[in-house]
Amino acid sequence: MVGGGQGALIGGVHRIAARMDDRFELVAGSFSSQLERNRATARELGVAESRCYADYQALLAGEAERSDGAEVVAIVTPNHLHFPAALACLEAGRHVICEKPMTLSVDEAQQLAAAVEASGKRFVLAHNYVGYPLVQHARELVARGELGRIRSVQVEYLQEWLSEAPGPDNRQAAWRLDPARAGATGCLGDIGVHAFHLAQFICGQRVSEVSAELFNAVPGRELDDNVHALLRFVGGARGMLWASQTAPGFENGLSIRVVGEKASLRWAQESPNELHFSPLDGPAQRLTRRDDRLGADIARGIRIPGGHPEGYLEAFANLYQALSDGLNEGTETPWLPGVEDGVDGMHFIAATLASSRAAGAWTALQGAGGAP
């Protein structure tokens, strides 16, 4: 693991997720650039002192010397380190599971895609929300044609935790609001890109153009904390995307509605064990996470019966499970987010920034395959 020292949030999540199905063991890490924090974290996690490294370079060098060196590296640092660390890992022949946004620029993203290709190693991007079984089922409903042609996609990701200027001890907030570590965007890169990925994932269409307005609700911030955007998809669907980190009352409100000619569906991350499907010609249905009603591929990621709620950690663990399946069985899990999703995400960020600066002009996502 690179990153994830004491006080970090997402590192702990990765560790639980990796442990859930007993497929991974945490053997080495570079948890923090601060020496003491690094060591203390290793001790707490039971990682041998000899395998607690000062930085990712040292980690890769050290592990390379061992016959039992780490096979997979989880990169859970602030944004600016995703790219160099991931690149180094791939070049060192390690599989990677990396936090989003994948890089700080489209150019880096493309370099990383090339590196994945060249390395022949697995690269998983932590768009964890598609690990929810019912998100995968939503995608399947669309793919099967149950909604007919898609008309409108409404996706939103709302949080309240940056509604006010954060206190000095808020490590999570500190780097996210700092362009040097977060990159050129705040809310857009932190959560907007999750919403973007979810929309593309379920609809099976790539976004071709965006018309956006970024703004700051809290004065004095260098980076956006709100995103209002209109979308156009390659297949002709239209959409709207709303992201905010300054929305009181919303804890982690990622949700999506997809309207098709024959039916609509909606799913919300805070109630992840239900999926609503509303056909034009009959009553609305509430679908639940039941392995006997979902496809076999999806059912792999279901550990307990319907009615026994699974949550964020289980969905996250499904990424690790699928990575492990892929390594063990040599298979590809179609829903597992990879480096191409990261390239798309960086295109989305770039186009959204450009559109917002150009007074909302419709701006193409490079490489998305052209406007509808």
User: Is residue 305 close enough to count as binding its own copies by CB under 8 A?
Assistant: yes
User: Is residue 309 close enough to count as binding its own copies by CB under 8 A?
Assistant: yes
Q: H-helix or E-strand containing 238?
A: strand 238-244
Pick between residue 181 and residue 303 the one whose CB is nearest to its own copies: 303
Pick between residue 177 and residue 294 the one whose CB is nearest to its own copies: 294
CB atoms within 10 A of CB 291: 17
Using CB under 8 A as the binding rule, the residues of this chain from 126 to 155 that contact its own copies are 151-152, 154
Stretch of 85-93, 101-109, 199-207, 223-231 contacting its own copies, by CB under 8 A: 223-231
Q: How many angstroms separate the CA atoms of 153 and 275, rounded?
A: 15
Q: Which of 31, 56, 250, 320 binds its own copies (CB under 8 A)?
A: 250
Using CB under 8 A as the binding rule, the residues of this chain from 168 to 207 that contact its own copies are none
Positive or negative, the CA dihedral 220, 226, 232, 233 is positive
Pairing of strands 2-3, 207-215: unpaired
Using CB under 8 A as the binding rule, the residues of this chain from 260 to 289 that contact its own copies are 260-264, 269-273, 277-280, 282-288
Minimum Å distance from CB 87 to its own copies? 29
Minimum Å distance from CB 257 to its own copies? 9
Angle, CA 58 vertex, CA 57 and CA 64 arms, to 5°: 95
Minimum Å distance from CB 294 to its own copies? 12
Stretch of 71-79, 135-143, 189-197, 233-241 contacting its own copies, by CB under 8 A: 233-241
283 class by beta-carbon count within 10 Å (0-12 exposed, 13-18 middle, 19+ buried): exposed
User: Is residue 324 close enough to count as binding its own copies by CB under 8 A?
Assistant: no
Q: How far is C-alpha 135 from the geometric centre of its chain's CA atoms?
A: 13
Minimum Å distance from CB 104 to its own copies? 25
Number of residues forming the site for its own copies (CB under 8 A):
79
Angle, CA 60 vertex, CA 57 and CA 63 arms, to 5°: 145
Minimum Å distance from CB 216 to its own copies? 10
Pick between residue 21 and residue 297 the one whose CB is nearest to its own copies: 21
Q: How many angstroms separate the CA atoms of 344 and 349, rounded?
A: 9
Is 11:4 a contact under the CB 8 Å cutoff?
A: yes
Pick between residue 174 and residue 230 the one whose CB is nearest to its own copies: 230
User: Is residue 222 close enough to count as binding its own copies by CB under 8 A?
Assistant: no
Minimum Å distance from CB 179 to its own copies? 22
Minimum Å distance from CB 112 to its own copies? 27
Is 242:159 a contact under the CB 8 Å cutoff?
A: no
Minimum Å distance from CB 13 to its own copies? 6
User: Is residue 163 close enough to count as binding its own copies by CB under 8 A?
Assistant: yes
Pick between residue 57 and residue 288 the one whose CB is nearest to its own copies: 288
CB atoms within 10 A of CB 242: 18
Pick between residue 116 and residue 263 the one whose CB is nearest to its own copies: 263
Is 231:209 a contact under the CB 8 Å cutoff?
A: yes
Give the C-alpha distances (Å, rounded to integers) separating 262 from 143, 147, 238, 265, 285.
13, 5, 16, 10, 14
User: Is residue 159 close enough to count as binding its own copies by CB under 8 A?
Assistant: yes
Is 162:246 a contact under the CB 8 Å cutoff?
A: yes
